[in-house]
Structure 1
Amino acid sequence: METGTIVRFDGIKGYGFIEPDSGGEDVFLHASILDDAVKQVLRGGMRVGYASAPSGQGTKALAVQLLGATSPAPTAVQAPSPERPVRREDDELCDVLRETEFAQKITDVLIEAAPSMTGSQILQVRKQLVTFAQRHGWVEA
């Protein structure tokens, strides 16, 4: 069984994504494979074990189980940290996000803005946007 972290899960819309610990593209997670109890508690930041398989629209999870302690879901407001400097008036116009943070924020925006997009479409758009941001130095590895 592989392991990873839930990037985002929306129980109302019925899907989300797992970021594999081994790297690579996120794995699409559909609510239909989850127990009702898991659907109610699953959120971004949770660690999971999962089985997956390739599909015509990217990799999808076939089975998922929660693992040990979980970290809290990311929030829109974060405390300053050494990796994330406080923005000052004389700084550039925006903070540079870590690549994983940027990818998660893109996923959140795409799910909210275009709920009819498939998981594969979201992954394709997100991959292109992350690549674009990397070329322009908008994200750090």
Structure 2
Amino acid sequence: MLRTGKIQRFDETRGYGFIIPNEGGDDVFMHANDLLDEKYLYQAGREVEFFVEMGDKGPKASEIRLIHQSAQRRPERDLASSAVTYQTADGAGPTVATLRGELTEALLEADGTLTADQIKRIRARVLDLAHAHGWVGA
């Protein structure tokens, strides 16, 4: 079944990333070998359509196509100099989605050898801690 979602993170150099499905559920692993358009066009926030298949390490996207193509290339984000707001309007801290995205980027930046399953397990544990301590908003 064809699905749609947004790219959460894609590292053009390493050739992999994650898609957040529009229908919810776990992030889906994406690899450069499954892209139908030019690799540099796949950037965080871009809408894609894809099929889900079972890979060696869990669900992965295949036949990934951009929904709205753009020839414009945005510069990569530098995490060290990025200004990120960690407070929601009610002062409760970042949203779960924001923390999940930032954590994924930080893990990929820290160790490019982590597998998708390892990243998901680490992220789940940190999100459990964040919930338990009230560090995240809705």
TM-score (norm 1): 0.79
C-alpha deviation, 1:137, in angstroms: 1.0
Distance 1:36 1:48, change over 3 A: closer
- 1:23 aligns with 24
Amino acid at match of 1:55: G
Residue 25 of structure 2 aligns to a residue whose secondary structure is coil
After superposition, residues 1-141 of structure 1 pair within 5 angstroms as 1-35=2-36, 37=38, 39-68=39-68, 76-77=82-83, 84-85=88-89, 96-141=93-138
Counterparts of 1:133 and 1:69 in 2: how far apart (Å)? 36
SS of 1:50's equivalent? strand
User: How many Å separate the matches in 1 of 2:69 and 2:131?
Assistant: 32
Q: TM-score, normalised by structure 2?
A: 0.81
- Answer yes or no: is the 8 Å Cα contact 1:103–1:130 preserved in 2: yes
Question: Structure 1: which 5+ residue stretches go unaligned?
Answer: 88-94
Runs of 4+ deviating beyond 4 Å: 72-75
> How large is the Cα RMSD of the aligned pairs?
2.8
- Over 3 Å counting, the alpha-carbon distance change for 1:49 and 1:36 in structure 2 is closer
Give ranges in structure 2 of 5+ residues lacking alignment: none
SS of the aligned residue for 2:23 comes to coil
CA contact (8 A) 1:47 1:69 kept: no
Counterpart Cα distance in 2 of 1:79 and 1:127: 21
Deviations 1:98-124 (A, max 9, x none): 101100111011001111111121111
